[in-house]
Amino acid sequence: MKTKRLKAVIFGPQGCGKGTQGELLADRFDVPLVGAGDLFRAEIARGTQLGKLAEESVSNGKLAPDELVNGIMSRQLKTLDLSHGFILDGYPRDVDQAVFLQRILPLNVAVCIKISDATAVKRLLSRRQCPACKTVYSLTDAPPMKPGRCSLCGTKLVKRTDDTDNTIRERLATYHFMTEPLTRYYRERGILLMLNGEQPIPYVFDDLIKKLAKLGFVA
Protein backbone atom coordinates (compact mmCIF):
# COMPACT_ATOMS: atom_id res chain seq x y z
CA MET A 1 0.00 0.00 0.00
CA LYS A 2 1.34 3.37 -0.95
CA THR A 3 1.11 5.87 1.89
CA LYS A 4 -0.01 9.44 1.39
CA ARG A 5 2.70 12.08 1.36
CA LEU A 6 2.63 14.35 4.35
CA LYS A 7 2.16 18.01 3.44
CA ALA A 8 1.68 19.51 6.85
CA VAL A 9 1.81 22.59 8.98
CA ILE A 10 2.31 22.34 12.74
CA PHE A 11 1.17 25.21 14.94
CA GLY A 12 0.14 26.16 18.46
CA PRO A 13 0.96 28.73 21.11
CA GLN A 14 4.54 29.17 22.30
CA GLY A 15 5.44 26.51 24.79
CA CYS A 16 3.11 23.92 23.21
CA GLY A 17 6.07 21.82 22.08
CA LYS A 18 5.54 22.14 18.33
CA GLY A 19 9.27 22.39 17.66
CA THR A 20 9.90 19.07 19.37
CA GLN A 21 6.87 17.36 17.81
CA GLY A 22 7.83 18.77 14.41
CA GLU A 23 11.32 17.29 14.70
CA LEU A 24 9.99 13.91 15.85
CA LEU A 25 7.48 13.85 13.02
CA ALA A 26 10.03 14.89 10.39
CA ASP A 27 12.30 12.06 11.57
CA ARG A 28 9.53 9.47 11.55
CA PHE A 29 8.28 10.37 8.08
CA ASP A 30 11.70 11.29 6.73
CA VAL A 31 10.53 14.64 5.41
CA PRO A 32 12.08 18.09 5.88
CA LEU A 33 10.94 20.30 8.76
CA VAL A 34 10.77 23.71 7.13
CA GLY A 35 11.11 26.60 9.58
CA ALA A 36 9.71 29.91 8.36
CA GLY A 37 12.37 31.76 10.33
CA ASP A 38 15.14 29.97 8.41
CA LEU A 39 13.52 30.83 5.06
CA PHE A 40 13.19 34.44 6.15
CA ARG A 41 16.87 34.58 7.11
CA ALA A 42 17.84 32.90 3.83
CA GLU A 43 16.02 35.60 1.85
CA ILE A 44 17.65 38.34 3.97
CA ALA A 45 21.07 36.74 3.40
CA ARG A 46 20.54 36.85 -0.37
CA GLY A 47 20.07 40.62 -0.13
CA THR A 48 17.11 40.67 -2.51
CA GLN A 49 14.52 43.45 -2.56
CA LEU A 50 12.19 41.29 -0.46
CA GLY A 51 15.10 40.36 1.79
CA LYS A 52 15.84 44.03 2.46
CA LEU A 53 12.21 44.73 3.35
CA ALA A 54 12.24 41.68 5.62
CA GLU A 55 15.40 42.91 7.32
CA GLU A 56 13.75 46.27 8.00
CA SER A 57 10.70 44.70 9.58
CA VAL A 58 12.86 42.34 11.68
CA SER A 59 14.95 45.24 12.99
CA ASN A 60 11.76 47.17 13.80
CA GLY A 61 10.70 44.21 15.89
CA LYS A 62 7.37 44.21 14.06
CA LEU A 63 5.63 41.32 12.37
CA ALA A 64 6.17 41.52 8.63
CA PRO A 65 3.01 42.21 6.59
CA ASP A 66 1.27 39.26 4.89
CA GLU A 67 2.29 40.31 1.37
CA LEU A 68 5.95 40.35 2.29
CA VAL A 69 5.80 37.07 4.20
CA ASN A 70 3.88 35.37 1.38
CA GLY A 71 6.31 36.71 -1.21
CA ILE A 72 9.32 35.42 0.65
CA MET A 73 7.75 32.06 1.44
CA SER A 74 6.63 31.41 -2.12
CA ARG A 75 10.13 32.18 -3.42
CA GLN A 76 11.96 30.21 -0.75
CA LEU A 77 9.63 27.18 -0.83
CA LYS A 78 10.34 26.85 -4.57
CA THR A 79 14.05 26.41 -3.83
CA LEU A 80 13.37 23.28 -1.73
CA ASP A 81 12.61 19.75 -2.84
CA LEU A 82 9.27 19.14 -1.15
CA SER A 83 8.12 16.40 -3.53
CA HIS A 84 8.26 13.68 -0.86
CA GLY A 85 6.41 15.71 1.71
CA PHE A 86 7.22 18.38 4.30
CA ILE A 87 6.25 19.92 7.61
CA LEU A 88 6.00 23.70 7.92
CA ASP A 89 6.67 25.45 11.22
CA GLY A 90 6.05 29.17 11.67
CA TYR A 91 4.08 29.68 8.46
CA PRO A 92 1.23 30.35 7.83
CA ARG A 93 0.66 32.56 10.88
CA ASP A 94 -2.78 33.86 9.96
CA VAL A 95 -5.73 32.96 7.74
CA ASP A 96 -4.71 35.27 4.87
CA GLN A 97 -1.34 33.51 4.71
CA ALA A 98 -3.07 30.12 4.88
CA VAL A 99 -5.34 31.03 1.96
CA PHE A 100 -2.31 32.11 -0.07
CA LEU A 101 -0.38 28.93 0.80
CA GLN A 102 -3.32 26.68 -0.16
CA ARG A 103 -3.11 28.23 -3.64
CA ILE A 104 0.61 27.72 -4.17
CA LEU A 105 1.29 24.60 -2.07
CA PRO A 106 -1.85 22.89 -0.77
CA LEU A 107 -1.52 21.20 2.62
CA ASN A 108 -3.25 17.94 3.48
CA VAL A 109 -2.77 18.07 7.27
CA ALA A 110 -2.78 20.89 9.81
CA VAL A 111 -1.59 19.85 13.26
CA CYS A 112 -2.60 22.14 16.12
CA ILE A 113 -1.18 21.53 19.59
CA LYS A 114 -3.43 23.04 22.20
CA ILE A 115 -2.36 24.13 25.70
CA SER A 116 -3.88 26.55 28.19
CA ASP A 117 -2.40 30.02 28.65
CA ALA A 118 -1.49 29.04 32.22
CA THR A 119 0.56 26.08 30.96
CA ALA A 120 2.23 28.22 28.29
CA VAL A 121 3.25 30.86 30.83
CA LYS A 122 4.50 28.24 33.29
CA ARG A 123 6.55 26.46 30.63
CA LEU A 124 8.06 29.60 29.13
CA LEU A 125 8.99 31.03 32.53
CA SER A 126 10.80 27.81 33.45
CA ARG A 127 12.70 27.72 30.16
CA ARG A 128 16.48 28.18 30.17
CA GLN A 129 18.84 28.11 27.22
CA CYS A 130 22.54 27.45 26.76
CA PRO A 131 23.95 30.56 25.02
CA ALA A 132 26.79 28.46 23.55
CA CYS A 133 25.15 25.35 22.05
CA LYS A 134 21.52 26.62 22.12
CA THR A 135 20.18 23.57 23.97
CA VAL A 136 16.90 24.40 25.71
CA TYR A 137 16.05 23.15 29.20
CA SER A 138 12.98 23.31 31.35
CA LEU A 139 13.54 23.71 35.08
CA THR A 140 10.35 21.75 35.69
CA ASP A 141 10.19 19.14 32.91
CA ALA A 142 13.71 18.73 31.52
CA PRO A 143 16.23 20.18 33.97
CA PRO A 144 19.99 20.14 33.31
CA MET A 145 22.08 17.55 35.18
CA LYS A 146 23.92 20.25 37.14
CA PRO A 147 21.71 23.16 38.27
CA GLY A 148 22.23 26.22 36.08
CA ARG A 149 24.76 24.55 33.74
CA CYS A 150 24.37 23.09 30.26
CA SER A 151 24.54 19.29 30.45
CA LEU A 152 26.28 19.15 27.06
CA CYS A 153 28.91 21.88 27.29
CA GLY A 154 28.86 23.20 30.87
CA THR A 155 28.04 26.80 29.92
CA LYS A 156 25.96 28.86 32.37
CA LEU A 157 22.31 28.75 31.30
CA VAL A 158 20.36 31.95 30.67
CA LYS A 159 16.74 32.99 30.52
CA ARG A 160 15.59 34.64 27.31
CA THR A 161 15.18 38.34 28.04
CA ASP A 162 11.77 38.37 26.32
CA ASP A 163 10.46 35.54 28.48
CA THR A 164 8.80 37.68 31.12
CA ASP A 165 5.25 37.23 32.33
CA ASN A 166 4.07 40.36 30.46
CA THR A 167 5.73 39.65 27.11
CA ILE A 168 4.61 36.03 27.22
CA ARG A 169 1.00 37.13 27.76
CA GLU A 170 1.29 39.62 24.91
CA ARG A 171 2.60 36.91 22.58
CA LEU A 172 -0.22 34.59 23.64
CA ALA A 173 -2.80 37.31 22.96
CA THR A 174 -1.33 37.76 19.47
CA TYR A 175 -1.51 34.01 18.94
CA HIS A 176 -5.18 33.84 19.95
CA PHE A 177 -6.11 36.82 17.81
CA MET A 178 -4.01 36.09 14.74
CA THR A 179 -3.06 32.43 14.50
CA GLU A 180 -5.76 30.50 16.35
CA PRO A 181 -8.38 31.24 13.64
CA LEU A 182 -6.35 28.81 11.49
CA THR A 183 -8.07 25.99 13.37
CA ARG A 184 -11.42 27.02 11.91
CA TYR A 185 -9.95 27.49 8.42
CA TYR A 186 -8.36 24.05 8.38
CA ARG A 187 -11.31 22.34 10.10
CA GLU A 188 -13.56 23.59 7.30
CA ARG A 189 -11.19 21.94 4.85
CA GLY A 190 -11.33 18.68 6.81
CA ILE A 191 -7.60 18.56 7.48
CA LEU A 192 -7.33 19.80 11.07
CA LEU A 193 -5.78 17.47 13.61
CA MET A 194 -6.04 18.65 17.22
CA LEU A 195 -3.67 17.47 19.92
CA ASN A 196 -3.71 17.92 23.67
CA GLY A 197 -0.32 19.47 24.39
CA GLU A 198 -0.77 19.31 28.16
CA GLN A 199 0.49 15.71 28.09
CA PRO A 200 4.16 14.65 28.21
CA ILE A 201 6.02 14.76 24.87
CA PRO A 202 5.87 10.98 24.08
CA TYR A 203 2.10 10.89 24.67
CA VAL A 204 1.50 13.86 22.38
CA PHE A 205 3.60 12.21 19.68
CA ASP A 206 1.81 8.89 20.11
CA ASP A 207 -1.53 10.69 19.67
CA LEU A 208 -0.22 12.44 16.59
CA ILE A 209 0.96 9.20 14.95
CA LYS A 210 -2.36 7.44 15.68
CA LYS A 211 -4.43 10.31 14.32
CA LEU A 212 -2.29 10.55 11.21
CA ALA A 213 -2.67 6.80 10.63
CA LYS A 214 -6.46 7.23 10.68
CA LEU A 215 -6.11 9.81 7.92
CA GLY A 216 -3.99 7.37 5.89
CA PHE A 217 -0.54 8.72 6.74
CA VAL A 218 1.68 5.83 7.74
CA ALA A 219 5.43 6.19 8.15
Give catalytic residue positions. 18, 93, 127, 160, 171
Output the CA–CA distances (angstroms, integers) from residue 125 to 13, 44, 94, 214, in the order listed. 14, 31, 26, 36
C-alpha closest to that of 133 among 158, 161, 152, 147: 152
**Cβ contacts of residue 9 below 8 Å, gap of 6+?**
87, 88, 89, 91, 92, 101, 107, 109, 110, 111
Of 14-22, 141-149, 153-161, 199-207: span binding Zn ion (CB under 5 A): 153-161
**Cβ contacts of residue 164 below 8 Å, gap of 6+?**
none
CB of 154 to Zn ion, least distance (A): 7
**Cβ contacts of residue 33 below 8 Å, gap of 6+?**
22, 23, 25, 26, 86, 87, 89
153 binds Zn ion (CB under 5 A): yes
Q: Choose between 108 and 135: whose C-beta lies nearer to Zn ion.
A: 135
Cα dihedral 38, 43, 45, 50, rounded to 10, equals -140
Q: Choose between 133 and 213: whose C-beta lies nearer to Zn ion.
A: 133
Contact set for Zn ion, span 107-136 (CB under 5 A): 130, 132-133, 135
157 binds Zn ion (CB under 5 A): no
CB of 147 to Zn ion, least distance (A): 14
CA 90 to CA 12: how far, in whole Å? Answer: 9
CB of 137 to Zn ion, least distance (A): 9
CB of 204 to Zn ion, least distance (A): 25
Bridge partners of 156, per DSSP, are: 149
Among 104, 152, 158, 173, binds Zn ion (CB under 5 A): 152
Q: Choose between 20 and 155: whose C-beta lies nearer to Zn ion.
A: 155
Contact set for Zn ion, span 88-107 (CB under 5 A): none
72 binds Zn ion (CB under 5 A): no
Q: Choose between 136 and 173: whose C-beta lies nearer to Zn ion.
A: 136
Interface residues with Zn ion (CB under 5 A) are: 130, 132-133, 135, 150, 152-153, 155
